[in-house]
């Protein structure tokens, strides 16, 4: 089952709460999370890469310039464009390298987005992180928001770590490995738990919606 519609999200929330009643308090405080579905494929993955390690406003501005330059972004667009032009759009050198690596993988047939839809979260992640410049956070955010994978859980996300620390009264913020272990209780609905935790974190931070914070990869 994919969490790719509002109805599917409601089903997932009900299943998650039945499995772990403690998260009902997170839902009460944070409210029902937004689906926030993104387009799958290269455009969705490229937008996630662009958003790493910058503010939401900066990511939106950079992505707007990318979309204006490439209305229908393709692998050939990236491969045919020089670094200077890409930098002029606001892309850093690491992001340019990551986008080029993705474009090469697509061009050579090593990255098939349709194949990811039929894999488990772990299998799909391994397929993606084999591409240089794609780390676990990027892969899991893609699986969660572009495909709606119900069990993708980006344990390296800072907002999720902080939400679990606050929501479950932990003495310290869990590191990615610790959060990975903590989230096992929510399998196979870890993706729904992530959405709920972001919503809860947003409520705890002056009512503003939390967004995936990400880590350097």
- In this predicted structure, the answer to whether residue 150 has a pLDDT above a threshold of 70 is yes
Cα 107 from Cα 76, distance rounded (Å): 8
89 — pLDDT class (breaks 50, 70, 90): very high
Tokens of 75: 């692998």
- Across the range 97-103, mean pLDDT stands at 97
Q: Which of 105, 124, 147 is the last residue of a domain?
A: 147
Q: Residues 127-144: pLDDT tens digits?
A: 999 999 999 999 999 999
**C-alpha closest to that of 196 among 36, 2, 63:** 36
What CATH number is associated with residue 136?
A: 1.10.340.30
**Residues 121, 49 share a domain:** yes
User: Going by C-beta distance under 8 Å and a sequence separation of 6 or more, which residues neighbour residue 159?
Assistant: 197, 198, 201, 210, 211, 212, 213
CATH at residue 189 = 1.10.1670.40
Q: Is the pLDDT of residue 84 over 50?
A: yes
């Amino acid at each position: 089952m994919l969490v790719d519609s509002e109805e599917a999200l409601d089903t997932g929330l009900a299943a998650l709460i039945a499995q772990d009643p403690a998260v009902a308090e997170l839902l009460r405080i944070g409210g029902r999370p937004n689906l926030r579905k993104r387009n799958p494929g290269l455009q969705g993955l490229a937008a996630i890469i662009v958003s790493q390690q910058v503010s939401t406003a900066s990511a939106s501005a950079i992505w707007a310039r990318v979309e204006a330059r490439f209305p229908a972004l393709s692998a050939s667009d990236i491969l045919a464009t020089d670094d200077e032009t890409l930098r002029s759009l606001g892309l850093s050198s690491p992001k340019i390298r990551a986008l080029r690596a993705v474009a090469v993988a697509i061009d050579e047939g090593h990255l098939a987005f349709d194949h990811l839809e039929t894999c488990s979260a772990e299998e799909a992640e391994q397929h993606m992180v084999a591409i240089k410049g794609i780390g676990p956070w990027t892969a899991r955010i893609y699986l969660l928001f572009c495909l709606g994978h119900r069990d993708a859980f980006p344990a390296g996300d800072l907002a999720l770590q902080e939400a679990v620390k606050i929501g479950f009264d932990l003495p310290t913020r869990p590191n990615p490995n610790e959060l990975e272990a903590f989230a096992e209780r929510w399998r196979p609905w870890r993706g729904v738990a992530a959405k709920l935790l972001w919503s809860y974190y947003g409520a705890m931070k002056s009512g503003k919606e939390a967004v995936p914070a990400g880590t350097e990869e």
